[in-house]
Amino acid sequence: MNPDGATDEHHEPEQGRNWWRRWLGAVRDPDGSWEIGSARRTAEGTVRCPVDLTSYGTTMRAELVRPAGEDVRPAVVVPFYEVATLFGEPCARTAGQSVARRRSQAYARHLVARGFAVLAVPWWFEYVLDPATGTASLSERYGPSAASHADSLAITGLGRSLADLFLAVDALACVPWVAPRRIGAFGHSLGGKLALHLTALDTRIAAGVAHEPGLGLAYSNWADPWYLDGAVPPDRDHDDLLALVAPRPFLLAGGGASDGWHNHRLVERAARRWPGPPGLETLYHNTGHAHPDHVLDACYAWLRGRLAAVDTPEETCPP
Kindly indicate the confidence band of residue 315, based on its pLDDT and cuts at 50, 70 and 90: low
Question: Would you state the pLDDT for residue 40?
Answer: 94
Query: Which pLDDT tens digit goes with each residue over 220-255?
Result: 999 999 999 999 999 999 999 999 999 999 999 999
Query: Which pLDDT tens digit goes with each residue over 266-312?
Result: 999 999 999 988 799 999 999 999 999 999 999 999 999 999 999 76
Identify the weakest region by mean pLDDT among 86-100, 163-177, 222-236, 251-265.
Answer: 86-100
Kindly indicate the confidence band of residue 318, based on its pLDDT and cuts at 50, 70 and 90: very low
Query: What phi and psi, each to the nearest 5 degrees, are found at residue 290?
Result: -70, 160
Please indicate, yes or no, whether the overall pTM of this predicted structure exceeds 0.85: yes
- Within 8 A by CB and 6+ apart from 229, the residues are 146, 150, 156, 157, 223
Question: Would you state the pLDDT for residue 1?
Answer: 29
Query: What phi and psi, each to the nearest 5 degrees, are found at residue 186?
Result: -140, 140
Domain 9-308 homologous superfamily, CATH: Alpha/Beta hydrolase fold, catalytic domain (3.40.50.1820)
Q: Is pLDDT above 60 for 173? A: yes
Query: What phi and psi, each to the nearest 5 degrees, are found at residue 281?
Result: -130, 160
* Domain range list for the chain: 9-308
Kindly indicate the confidence band of residue 95, based on its pLDDT and cuts at 50, 70 and 90: confident
First vs last Cα of the chain: how many Å apart? 45
**Rounded Cα distance, 166 and 163, in Å:** 5
Q: Is pLDDT above 80 for 319? A: no
Query: Which pLDDT tens digit goes with each residue over 97-126?
Result: 898 999 999 999 999 999 999 999 999 999
